[in-house]
Structure 1
């Protein structure tokens, strides 16, 4: 017998068997336990464990914020797809990670003539390669499952296979999870720029994974003046004032706080001397009037710049 419930995903079914077992074991109404078989404290703990195993099953669309994407993904609208759209990617380094607490995950995908191979990893280990190729387009299709896993935290990662023919896609339409989705562990992979003035007020782009749902950004022990989450892999923050030195930038999410790595180091400087590394183009007509792109480092805050010089001649304009 099943009881139908609803949570953040789709309609779910909950087996009533575990509930009945829990009532029997705990000596509730209809219990078959006698005085000679009364439950001890240890038995009660065991019965509670039975109850905790009554997990729910729900479907989550590929747009769910719990999913962590890397690389370049596109949302493709299609009425036949689960939820009216599916996600797809066709470049090396593109993957999606799904972290959950439970016992099973089913991968729902689209197969067709433009799709290729995807590598599947479970809890960090390679499991299999799934070929999504089909002579006709098929939507809302279960293409792989974890099977029954030990109850607990697990992570499934689906990645574009580098042997794919150029342009071939991997797809994610939805996932069906027995248990609950968890926010991915957030990571910071880079900052741009990596330094700024002690006065603060510089925009800093934070790149990483699992950044969706961020609740705070810290520069050392000082919160960012403001920040905007632009997706699961990007946050734009405004650095607060701070004394000179290198600090750790941290992002706080529902899954925890990002771990400290070299990628999150941000240096506060009292003054910054710009350094030029390239000009494009690096030659021009003597008549002038051409646009020159100046590339370099230390271009953090040029609001006080008074001139750009070509030799002893100031530029006609700059921005």
Structure 2
């Protein structure tokens, strides 16, 4: 009997309350996890990443899309993002015996300038020099300061189609200098970019009765509009135009630094991907009348600019 009692004591000690053989086995391996102190920053700012992995890792291998540096091997790196966009983050951790990887797609949202076309003797995106142009005919003309070959001509046989990288955002600003003549009144498209799938995501800047308006599709199934600008712009004079879509679904149109149209919809726009082609002077999706005039210094942001920023652009 004494021997039996001794055996029972040993077994009872092995399976005392609070212990789990399954939990012990799980703790023998690592599980990759992390978070960032912030996931939305302005262009040129930094993000600090915090390791939240389980299982006592001793080595980290980070990868940061378009970050500087783009790799790190410490637990809590700080990364600088010089370009606007939505970027992936990947980390692989190991404890020397096991390893695990976590991938977060479009995790860091960097707000800022996505595209910039100066048209200063060349037609190219200054932010993304590797992107190609379409096959449409184009030519350059005088800009608002009178310099030759410094603005993009628009006309019946002149237009421009540009292949862009996907734009992932829930807000947008398009800023440009624009000149057109009195005959440009109906169905003219200044610029446009819609997805090629179902046209449920995208935006366009159009003309009607000599006035401008912003139109957009934000995934809701509805086509939104800013309404017409207060004044006509078909006077053959240069005007600064800013078209803005905010995350809370305000569609704004600014002309020469003044807000001329603004419609507020009760809708929160989610993060959407626009992989369509950007066109200037015509539409790929609807009938439009070719515009006669010119475009200069086109900028597209993946954020909604505030009044101070709009006025500053219009004053340059």
Task: State whether TM-score is above 0.5.
Answer: no
Q: TM-score, normalised by structure 2?
A: 0.35
Q: TM-score, normalised by structure 1?
A: 0.35
Task: Pick the structure with more strand per residue.
Answer: 1
Larger RCO (CA within 8 A; separation ≥ 6): 2
